Amino acid sequence: MKKGLISMGVLAGFLFSILIVSGIFAKDVVEYNPAYGKVTFTHKKHAETLKIDCVKCHHTWKKGETTGKLCKDCHKATKEASKDGKGIAAKDAYHKDCKGCHEEAKKANKPSGPTGCTTCHVKAKK
C-alpha cells in the first residue's frame, strides 16, 4: 500500500512538472508598469489566436526552450545601462516590437492593436 502511494506521488509530481514546462500555467495577462502608465496585453491572444511566432517578440528564443525572455531581461532602462553601452533601451525595445508590429498590421489592413500613447498606457487614477 505504501509503495503504491509513493508511486502515485512520483507520478503526480512528474505530470505536474510536465504541465509547468509546457506552459499550461503560464500567465495569460501580462502587465508592465512604466512611469507613463500601465500597459496590459493578453499573451494567449497574441500567441494562439493571432498565431504570432514566438520569435517575433522573443527574438533570442532558442529551439527547445520552454520560456522566452522578456524585453526587460536584456534591455535596461537606458541604453547606457546595457553591458556594452550600445544596447537598445527597454522603452525603445517595447515600442519597436509592440507598436511597430501594430503599425505593420494596420498598413497591411489586418486587425491591429493600439499605437497611440494613451491607448496602450493607462495612468492610475488618483
**Which domains are seen in the chain, by residue range?**
27-120 (3.90.10.10)
Pair 93, 100: CB distance under 8 Å? no
pTM over 0.75: no
pLDDT in tens, 79-98: 666 666 677 888 888 898 89
Contact in structure between 115 and 103 (CB atoms under 8 Å): yes
Residue 57, pLDDT score: 84
Range 102-116 average pLDDT:
91
The H or E element spanning position 31 is: strand 29-32
Instruction: Name the band, by pLDDT with cuts 50, 70 and 90, for residue 23.
Output: very low
**More confidently predicted of 85 and 118:** 118
Closest C-alpha among 115, 125, 98, 96 to residue 32:
98
